[in-house]
Amino acid sequence: MPQDGPSLPPVRLRSDAELARDALAAPLLTRAVRLARWAGPETRVGAGGELAEEQLPAAARELGLGDDEDGPAVASEAWRTAVDAALVDVRDPEAEDSEYGTVTAGENLALIASGSPQDVLGIWLEALEAVHADAIAPLLDDLTDAIGEDGEIDLGMLEWDPEAEAEFLDGVLGNLYLLTVADEGAAEQPVPLPALAASMIVPDDMGEPTDDVLEQVSDAMMRLDDQFRLLEPIGLVDYQPVDEALMAEVADGDGGPVEDDEDVSRYGLVRLTPLGLYGIRARMLEAGVDAPAVGELADKGADALLDGLGRYPEHTARAETELWLARREPAPAAAELLAAARGTDEGGPLRRLLCQQALSLVGPPAEAEVRAVLDDRELGGLARVWLAERGAADVPPPPESMIFWLSIDTLAAQLDAAGESEELRGLVEGLTGRHSGFFDAAWRVDHPATADVLDAMGRLHPDKRAAKEARKAAFKARSQRPS
């Protein structure tokens, strides 16, 4: 998993109990558990722990696949998962002349029935690691071609780089994770396989992809098709495979880029399941990636909450705040939020904006605490806004200096949160439209972000004259700042 770059958006995970149920329902783990319980003293395994070939038909029957021509292969895969997930314990041959070892129940088998949800998820993660290793292994046809006359595999002929294969698949899964958590509702939308392949191959600054790049995307798409077919039975993804007819076209050299009017589902569609989100996040955390989850701030102080919410999308920020408030009494929570919102540091404006949004979820029980900061230079403005929104009586009008300070503070918070967005452009235009002579007063505001805010207003304001006034005001603000 990639370890560099900014923190990922927070993910909303299901409860451990729900995820454990999903894990136990994953077809591959279900089959592995059945074979682990089926195995007995007479079960024989090879030197690598694989189920003896003559026992595969019986294992397939145990799985209800006795009449399926792929039954032995499915049973073999399920058995390998049972071994890798410690559902069975393989023992080497006891006698020197015996070619088979034996098996006993593994330490994890009992946990499947009696362990905690965390125990079950731990077993599932072990199974996932084994499937991931299978997914990056060389293709069977490549292995066959690389076997020499002596029966040994020529690794040089394979041209297989396990680290590069793992990095590519992890990059694809990371991109799929990011697409899933970035926007509300995205978790329900499958992603076309060509888009995932292209995300790893086509450079961001490339306009029209070259034929060579398109060929690489096509090859990667076919490889990902094989890999997602392996990853689906463990419950990581929901996957609609590439159309077999399309694969034949690609093999014949007739397959090309996706046309606008073509059914994109023919090229494969993939979606991370809720269990898959949990699994990919777990692997990211193991690799040192900062992959937060909604609810991680619920037991921390208001300072940690407000600092953390600054990187959260709106829908997850609200969910995180609701969880934080649910564990506290309204009045003390409001007081703690207001105290954490103070500060003239660079992050202060955004903290105050997030504090105001959090207080909107508290409601009337916070009124006494909000009124207590009406005379506070940093908090008095947001306190009046909060009280006015609730129709509170006896709210003193703010002095003019507080109005301008709050205006600069609010614009600084919006700049920090979303940059020079269209929303901020509208806010700038509306603010200067309501306050004639805004820039004559604004440059005098003793706020650390005054000059930067006025600079941004100069870039954002659609009226050239107003934009020029904003730039002149920014220059005055910097001129009066102590060196």
User: Tell me: the pLDDT tens digits for 110-130?
Assistant: 999 999 999 999 999 999 999
What is the average pLDDT across 383-390?
Answer: 93
Given pLDDT bands bounded at 50, 70 and 90, which one contains residue 3?
Answer: very low
Q: Which of 56, 226, 28 is nearest to 130 (CA)?
A: 28
pLDDT of residue 41: 85
Write out pLDDT tens, residues 430-456. 888 777 788 999 999 999 999 999 999
Kindly state whether residue 148 falls inside one of the protein's structural domains: no
Residues 356 and 462 in one domain: yes
Domain boundary among 286, 311, 330: 286
Residues 221 and 267 in one domain: yes
Kindly state whether residue 81 falls inside one of the protein's structural domains: no
Chain mean pLDDT for the chain: 88
Residues 265 and 383 in one domain: no
Residues 189 and 277 in one domain: yes
By residue range, what is the domain housing residue 397? 302-480
Lowest mean pLDDT among 152-161, 212-221, 297-306: 152-161
Residues 348 and 456 in one domain: yes
Lowest mean pLDDT among 76-80, 295-299, 361-365, 479-483: 479-483
Task: Give me the number of domains the chain comprises.
Answer: 2
pLDDT of residue 211: 85
Kindly state whether residue 70 falls inside one of the protein's structural domains: no
Write out pLDDT tens, residues 334-365. 999 999 999 999 999 999 999 999 999 998 89
At residue 177, does pLDDT exceed 70?
yes
Lowest mean pLDDT among 58-72, 150-164, 237-251, 371-385: 150-164
pLDDT of residue 258: 54
Tell which wins on pLDDT, 356 or 248.
Answer: 356
**pTM exceeds 0.85, yes or no:** no
Domain boundary among 286, 317, 335: 286
Domain boundary among 286, 320, 341: 286
